[in-house]
Amino acid sequence: MKSSRFMLLPACMFCLAGQAQPANDRCDGAAAMTLNVAYSQNTLLATSAGDPSNVCTGPFGKGVWYSMQPPQYGTVTISSCGSDFNTAIEVYSSAGGNCDTKVFRTCGDNVGPACDSDQASVSFEGFPSVKYFIVVGGRGGIGREFEVGRDNGHSPERPVQ
């Protein structure tokens, strides 16, 4: 069984000059993630339109959306451990491959499988025939700069913790 890891890390918080609302501000604009590629994004200009109002029983906002489809069955871990603010993550699956058919799978807010703090992380079993949509944002609607990446460098014998 393979493991995949997504990481959300802080970057420049005050680099907004010339920026606009993120293209992946809503599920139908989800940015596709690729293995071993990091993505930088600022969520300060993200809206909360189309975001879940509560993630893991708490207020949520300024979410940005990503999509991924694992190349094979295995554990997928999504993490924002390196962020310097309180984050939340929610994962949906869609056998139909679109936002209209997405179904809630799991969420993370504080002390997850990869973080021992107020940053979010989740792990779930991913199937290659299923597309996953991930919304990441700030607990209480906080927006900041993220670096998002997907890493599949973990051996099948040692699941991501």
Render pLDDT for 122-139 as a digit per residue (tens, 0 to 9): 889 999 999 999 988 877
Is 36 inside any structural domain? Answer: yes
- 157 assigned to some structural domain: no
Residue 143 lies in a domain: yes
Q: Is residue 158 part of a domain?
A: no
Q: Among 6-15, 22-31, 32-41, 48-57, name the one with the lowest average pLDDT.
A: 6-15
- Domain housing 126: 2-12+25-152
What is the pLDDT, as a whole number, of residue 83?
73
Structure confidence at residue 140 as a pLDDT band (50, 70, 90): low
| Domain assignment of residue 19, yes or no | no
Look at residue 160 and tell me if it is in a domain: no
Chain centroid, CA 48 distance in Å? 15
Q: What CATH number has the domain bearing residue 82?
A: 2.60.120.380
Q: How many domains would you assign to the chain?
A: 1
